[in-house]
């Protein structure tokens, strides 16, 4: 067995260990990215082979938390891909208006920037009070940060241009208080948000959702796990509900393809329909 095959086996065993010991399932994740993450963890662990990480993770819950943090990639920003928010504003908002009450689910919300961004948009459209918003991730630390809604001021300032490009009707600075180098988001933006832990690889369906945003999460999954998660999102949606994926993700070659029509290809906005 050559070194790279050996490493592959060791990583398989590590993922299997994590699953059977803690219930977190990374076995179906896209491997190239996982390999990178494991090597990074290895080089900061003082161990020399991946195999040595296995007893460590078995016996040391603290090390396991480090591993989960390492595998979760809570990289996000306010109004990332402003054209997507613009498309939501122009194409989804008019339909949300027709419902007296609606539910939105951010699946894989990381540290929450996307949730606050959409909340601003809903406020500006006068729809916020009608919404119930679920914001989920399997990374509890990221969720804590999302709940707090305090971000480095320079990151928020950098989003000013994207806020405008997204069709923002006011000024981004209306929505936060600056204190030293931190920006504290207006708590009114999270009044209708429920933050909770949810794992797309192992947990089940959420009910009767009108708009699901699951952006830049499925890229970390292999094909099979992508399909599992997509079924879960599909079953969570009401008929006529909307799904929004990351701009480099694609429903085209997935199992749920027939259940959706395309509302806006560039924004990866899809509408759930009865399959033909």
Ligand X SMILES: C[S@@+](CC[C@H](N)C(=O)[O-])C[C@H]1O[C@@H](n2cnc3c(N)ncnc32)[C@H](O)[C@@H]1O
Q: Which residues of this chain interact with ligand X, rule CB under 6 A?
A: 72-76, 80, 108-110, 114, 137-139, 142, 199-201, 215-217, 220, 246
**How many Cβ atoms sit within 10 Å of the Cβ of residue 45?**
16
Q: Is 95 strand, coil or helix?
A: helix
What does 196 interact with, of ligand X, another protein, none (CB < 5 to 8 A by kind)?
none
As a whole number of angstroms, the distance between CA 185 and CA 177 comes to 6
CA 63 to each of CA 18, 66, 112, 137, 140: distance values in angstroms, whole numbers, following the listed order: 11, 5, 25, 20, 15
153 contacts another protein (rule: CB under 8 A) = no
Determine, following the binding rule CB under 8 A, whether residue 136 of this chain makes contact with another protein: no
DSSP letter assigned to residue 144: H
From 135-143, 181-189, 227-235, 243-251, give the range in contact with another protein by CB under 8 A.
Answer: 243-251
Q: Does 250 bind another protein (CB under 8 A)?
A: yes
Which of 149/246 has CB closer to ligand X?
246
The only residue of 67, 88, 218, 230 in contact with another protein, by rule CB under 8 A: 218
Looking at 25, 114, 249, 264, which residue binds another protein (CB under 8 A)? 249
Contact of residue 74 among ligand X, another protein, none (CB under 5-8 Å per partner type): ligand X
Pair 240, 271: CB distance under 8 Å: yes
Q: Does 151 bind another protein (CB under 8 A)?
A: no
Q: Residue 125: CA atoms inside 13 Å, Cβ hemisphere, count?
A: 24
Does 35 sit near another protein (CB under 8 A)?
A: yes
Number of amino acids touching another protein (CB under 8 A): 20
Is the separation of the CB atoms in 96 and 211 below 8 Å? yes
Q: Are 13 and 51 in contact (CB under 8 A)?
A: yes
The item of ligand X, another protein, none sharing an interface with residue 274, based on CB under 5 to 8 Å by kind, is none
Question: How do 209-214 and 237-245 pair as beta strands?
Answer: parallel
What distance in Å separates the CA atoms of residue 87 and residue 6, rounded to the nearest whole number?
47
- Examine residue 32 and tell whether it contacts another protein (CB under 8 A): yes
Residues that bind another protein (CB under 8 A): 4, 30-33, 35-36, 73, 75, 216, 218-220, 223, 226, 246, 248-250, 253
């Amino acid at each position: 067995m050559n070194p790279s095959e050996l490493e592959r086996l060791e990583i398989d065993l590590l993922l299997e260990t994590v699953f059977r010991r803690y219930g977190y399932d990374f076995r179906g994740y896209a491997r190239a990215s996982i390999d990178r993450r494991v090597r990074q963890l290895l080089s900061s662990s003082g161990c020399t082979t991946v195999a040595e990480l296995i007893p460590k993770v078995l016996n040391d819950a603290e090390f396991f938390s480090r591993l989960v943090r390492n595998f979760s990639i809570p990289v996000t920003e306010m109004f990332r891909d402003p054209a997507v928010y613009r498309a939501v504003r122009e194409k989804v908002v008019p339909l949300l208006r027709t419902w007296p009450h609606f539910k939105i689910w951010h699946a894989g919300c990381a540290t929450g920037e996307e949730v606050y961004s959409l909340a601003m948009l809903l406020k500006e459209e006068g729809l916020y009070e009608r919404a119930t918003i679920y914001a989920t991730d399997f990374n509890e630390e990221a969720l804590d940060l999302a709940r707090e809604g305090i971000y480095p001021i320079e990151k928020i300032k950098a989003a000013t241009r994207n806020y405008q490009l997204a069709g923002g009707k006011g000024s981004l600075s209306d929505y936060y208080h600056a204190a030293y180098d931190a920006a504290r988001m207006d708590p009114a933006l999270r009044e209708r948000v429920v933050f909770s832990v949810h794992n797309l690889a192992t947990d089940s369906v959420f009910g009767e959702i009108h708009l699901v945003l699951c952006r830049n999460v499925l890229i970390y999954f292999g094909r099979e796990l992508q399909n599992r998660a997509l079924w879960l999102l599909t079953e969570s949606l009401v008929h006529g509900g909307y799904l929004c994926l990351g701009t480099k993700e694609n429903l085209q070659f997935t199992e749920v393809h027939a259940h959706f029509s395309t509302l806006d290809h560039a924004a990866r906005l899809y509408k759930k329909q009865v399959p033909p």
